[in-house]
Structure 1
Amino acid sequence: MTSQLPAERQLIEAAEGGIPSALADLGRLVRIPGIAWPSFDQEQLQRSARTIAELAEGAGVFDEVRVLSATIPGTGEQGQPAVLATRAARRGRPTVMLYAHHDVQPPGDEALWETPPFEPTVRDGRLYGRGAADDKAGVMTHIASLRALRETYGDDLDLGLVLFVEGEEEYGSRSFTQFLSDNAEAMRSDVIVVADSGNWDSETPAVTVSLRGNAKFHLTVRTLDHASHSGMFGGAVPDAMLATITLLATLWDEAGSVAVEGLVARDAGTPAYDEETLRGETGLLPGVQPIGDGTILSRIWNKPSITVTGVDFTSVDAASNTLSPEVTVVVSARVAPGQSARDAYAAIERHLRARAPFGAELSFSDVDLGDGFLVDTSGWAVELARGAMRDGYGKEAVDYGVGGSIPFIADLVERYPEAQILVTGVEDPHSRAHSPNESLHLDTFRHAVLAETLLLARANERTG
């Protein structure tokens, strides 16, 4: 770590000293199964929001802390609870928004977890549990940094602050735009720190500079008006599964690259990253080869991908000798940064409709679109973040692309076009977000808290 001014040494000591209590509070949050899907207990999500509001109050830096929700546009339904805490800037200092989300993915098959998903468990330097990394660690990075600022500055902190902890990010941020509209002035910021991404590895920090967009939809393929006996009519009558398999196979070429006209790739260089690293980070089986062409990271960061993530069809246990009349699949496409999700979806729909086999009927529903994002790295906030990461982690930060999507960032840019966006995170390639045995590398969390504390402190020294 580079040499620090006395005030920064005091800050670092305060941040380091607060790590045990921050991890204890993270454990409290992991124990709350706050899932935004309506089929889960929504009181748990309310409980999660109330707990975070208490933590924000306890940080001692905010003028106001509220638990709020907004109406979902076009439905009249109320969205899930978010925490909004605000502090006015003083003496010309900038305002920094700190974003994270407190809702989590469903646990999935609990038999695949080595320890219970909502029981925080430490082993081998990692904290295991659903939300331990995505994104309750992001919440606690913010809280821990704010505690260190309070301990160091007391009442002399001039930095404006907005803490926005969303409650429905994993469920599509359905009320996000309305929430921004309802609270536009209270949330207005010069810098927005989105703590919902990852790092190059557990020791090397990253500034996320690109994100792919997403286009997800349900595709229903229908060939019959009722089921028939597969022995009596198989070979002459195309069932829906045959049509679905045949149709979906046209989405990729023999190498596994997306083969949809109208989907584009971004032309940008990528750091060195070899197949051995890919295998180690993903669990790719020894005989299975990677798909696509070009550098591995260009396939993940800069090119489109299409994945079938769900199928409504007869289960193995209930299978019978039947020609199926209808199949519905969930298609999830990732869109290269720079292409609109709407254009990408239109290209995929055109492709599928033009190739419907055997005259099968196709219908599309539940379309969910989110644009990708390219960070403007020319502003002072990015340079401040790189320096804070270097001093907090002891390593230079890597400019990092992410294959995943954070569609609401486009909404933030539209609402606050002058704000500088910083996309950071606490995850590393082994965090397994959204998967069984999700975990947080504890030392990465410590470094992330140090880096964010330094970032906020240095922003507090700026005017204009």
Structure 2
Amino acid sequence: MNDLDGLKDAAAAIMPEVIDRLEQLVRIPSIAFPGFDPAPVHEMGAAVVSLFDAAGIPGVRLLDVPDGYPCVYADVPGPDGAPTVLLYAHYDVQPAPESQNWSSTPFEPITKDDGRIYGRGAADDKSGLVIHYATLKMLGTPLPCHLKILVEGEEETISHLEDFVENHPDLFEADAYVIADIGPQRVGRPGLTTALRGDVACTVTVRTLANPVHSGMFGGAAPDALTAMIRILDTLHDDNGDTTIPGVDSYSWEGAAMDEEVYREGSAILPGVEFLGTGSLSDRIWAKPSVTVLGMDLPSTAEASNVLLPEVTAKLSMRIVPGSDGDAQLEALMAHLRAQRPWNCVVEVEKVKVGHAFAVDATHPAIVAAEKALEEAYGAPVENIGSGASIPLVASLKKVSPDAAILLWGAEDTAQSRIHASDESVDPGEIERMIVAQTLFIRHLVAAAGD
């Protein structure tokens, strides 16, 4: 038996324990959104400390993050000259409202006939936590590298961790950051994410009247705020569905192609409904901007009455392309919105957040080691893919260690994981392969540093 076979056997042997720990974590409804009970979030933070303590990591603890939930942190010295690797994941999850129509109880994990484990957070990102746990168990002690652990408690909401990291750079300096919060296109196909679109957001408020008025008596001359808002939002896309805003960047994707079958399966597009935009599918979801209206403050159909609305507010998110300046891209969006004033209505635009885009240096030794590890673990060529998602902390980590590599991978496959949606799930085999890949990566990186 060669070393690779032995490693795979060891990973298979530890999987029953890994799945048991994953299911324990999924049962904790660690929703960090405002308005939700904070107790389960704190319970989850403590559970993660216990998780890594069980993995044999000394000194793992909670660090207070000003105005936010605590992060889990550890710093374990390694051999002289060995690289420093920081393992990142997050312990908070998205809400699972009844309106999502789950087919099972969100916070009661269940393995269904397809072999996948269903539950909120099973993929995003409690799978990342158990991948890290098992990797550390596989490496054993003493560790071959200088190791740091950082697990966030509010990645899914407005995070306070970025400022904390940038204000304490010595705690988070590393040669390689392993972000286990993403995944391949499909189970069994190794994917390394080499670019993230950023995410900028703002609100736009439209005012037309001092107060609501009867639509029958005044409609036809007095402008309705919702109608004005619709006209403004319609300017964000052209007839093809491309986002068309002056000053917003766009380019063409040069990595692996987005698999259309995977995309259709994962996106749940209805039969006959057309894709938005122009260019390749990869261009549209990884290399071009896209604006989404996340919500609006207005009456529901049940509350609707015959009045003209005096004021409407919408929240917008725009995914921005790798290589672009997040602040400049948000300002371009906000300037465009301010310039739209149908019927001379009052338009106010306010910044919500800036999440910067990111692209990797494919020549970095850690990226080379990661690709080698993935290929060995999966026995298949590695796909360099992009992601329309954003992980805001990445920009802060690059400020702390500009020359470090950022590895973006995990068990959240695009085709079936349904993160943030109903029936979120993870494939246990994908977790097992990533345990092997991550263990190999650290071994390869240490070996390269010693050459």
Map of 1:75 onto structure 2: none
Amino acid at match of 1:102: Y
1:88 aligns with 2:70: no
Aligned partners of 2:193 and 2:255: how far apart in 1?
Answer: 13
Q: How does 1:304-323 map to 2 (within 5 A)?
A: 304-323=289-308
1:101–1:136 contact (8 Å) kept in structure 2 = yes
Work out the number of aligned pairs and report it: 448
Q: Deviations over 1:55-92 (max 9, x none)?
A: 111111x3311111221xxxxxx310211012101132
Amino acid at match of 1:352: L
- Matched position secondary structure for 2:32: coil
Q: 2:128 pairs with 135, 138, 146, which one?
A: 138
Deviation at 1:395, TM superposition (A): 1.4
1:93–1:462 contact (8 Å) kept in structure 2 = no
1:451 aligns with 2:437: yes
Map of 1:158 onto structure 2: 144
- Matched position secondary structure for 1:461: helix
Deviation at 1:364, TM superposition (A): 1.9
Q: Calculate the TM-score normalised by the size of structure 2.
A: 0.96
Aligned partners of 1:271 and 1:454: how far apart in 2?
Answer: 23
Q: Deviations over 1:201-257 (max 9, x none)?
A: 111111111111111111111100100000111111111001000110011000110
Map of 1:122 onto structure 2: 111
Map of 2:219 onto structure 1: 234
Deviation at 1:14, TM superposition (A): 2.3
Q: How does 1:293-442 map to 2 (within 5 A)?
A: 293-429=278-414, 430-442=416-428
Aligned partners of 2:405 and 2:103: how far apart in 1?
Answer: 41
- Matched position secondary structure for 1:412: helix
Amino acid at match of 2:435: V
1:275–1:147: structure 2 CA closer, same or farther, 3 Å change rule?
closer
Deviation at 1:366, TM superposition (A): 4.8
Deviation at 1:341, TM superposition (A): 1.4
1:70–1:179 contact (8 Å) kept in structure 2 = no
Deviates more, 1:62-71 or 1:31-40: 62-71
Q: Deviations over 1:133-186 (max 9, x none)?
A: 011101110001111111xxx44x33111111111111132232214423x323
1:276–1:399: structure 2 CA closer, same or farther, 3 Å change rule?
closer
Q: How does 1:129-278 map to 2 (within 5 A)?
A: 129-150=119-140, 154-155=141-142, 157-182=143-168, 184-273=169-258, 275-278=260-263
Q: 1:64 pairs with 59, 64, 69, which one?
A: 59
| Unaligned runs of at least 5 residues, structure 2 | none
Map of 2:13 onto structure 1: 17
1:389–1:378: structure 2 CA closer, same or farther, 3 Å change rule?
same
1:324–1:138: structure 2 CA closer, same or farther, 3 Å change rule?
same
- Matched position secondary structure for 2:264: helix
Map of 1:45 onto structure 2: 41
Deviation at 1:110, TM superposition (A): 5.4
Q: Deviations over 1:31-53 (max 9, x none)?
A: 00111113111111111011110
Percent identity between the aligned chains?
Answer: 39
Aligned partners of 2:259 and 2:59: how far apart in 1?
Answer: 49
2:215–2:308 contact (8 Å) kept in structure 1 = yes
Aligned partners of 2:403 and 2:256: how far apart in 1?
Answer: 30
1:275–1:460: structure 2 CA closer, same or farther, 3 Å change rule?
closer
Deviation at 1:332, TM superposition (A): 0.7
1:271–1:463: structure 2 CA closer, same or farther, 3 Å change rule?
closer
Deviation at 1:266, TM superposition (A): 2.1
Deviation at 1:325, TM superposition (A): 0.3
2:79–2:146 contact (8 Å) kept in structure 1 = yes
1:204–1:393 contact (8 Å) kept in structure 2 = yes
Deviation at 1:200, TM superposition (A): 2.1
Map of 1:74 onto structure 2: none
1:164–1:276: structure 2 CA closer, same or farther, 3 Å change rule?
closer
Aligned partners of 2:342 and 2:69: how far apart in 1?
Answer: 42
Deviation at 1:4, TM superposition (A): 4.0
Deviation at 1:111, TM superposition (A): 5.7
Q: 2:269 pairs with 280, 284, 290, which one?
A: 284
1:206–1:398 contact (8 Å) kept in structure 2 = yes
Aligned partners of 2:258 and 2:355: how far apart in 1?
Answer: 28
Deviates more, 1:294-303 or 1:279-288: 279-288
Aligned partners of 1:114 and 1:318: how far apart in 2?
Answer: 29
Q: 1:98 pairs with 87, 99, 106, which one?
A: 87
Amino acid at match of 1:451: A
Aligned partners of 1:32 and 1:10: how far apart in 2?
Answer: 34
Q: Calculate the TM-score normalised by the size of structure 1.
A: 0.93
Aligned partners of 2:170 and 2:263: how far apart in 1?
Answer: 44
Deviates more, 1:281-290 or 1:219-228: 281-290
Amino acid at match of 1:66: R
Aligned partners of 2:100 and 2:34: how far apart in 1?
Answer: 23
Deviation at 1:270, TM superposition (A): 4.5
Aligned partners of 1:376 and 1:27: how far apart in 2?
Answer: 36
Amino acid at match of 2:192: V
Aligned partners of 1:290 and 1:214: how far apart in 2?
Answer: 21
1:85–1:164 contact (8 Å) kept in structure 2 = yes
Aligned partners of 2:203 and 2:272: how far apart in 1?
Answer: 32
Aligned partners of 1:271 and 1:85: how far apart in 2?
Answer: 35
RMSD after superposition = 1.6
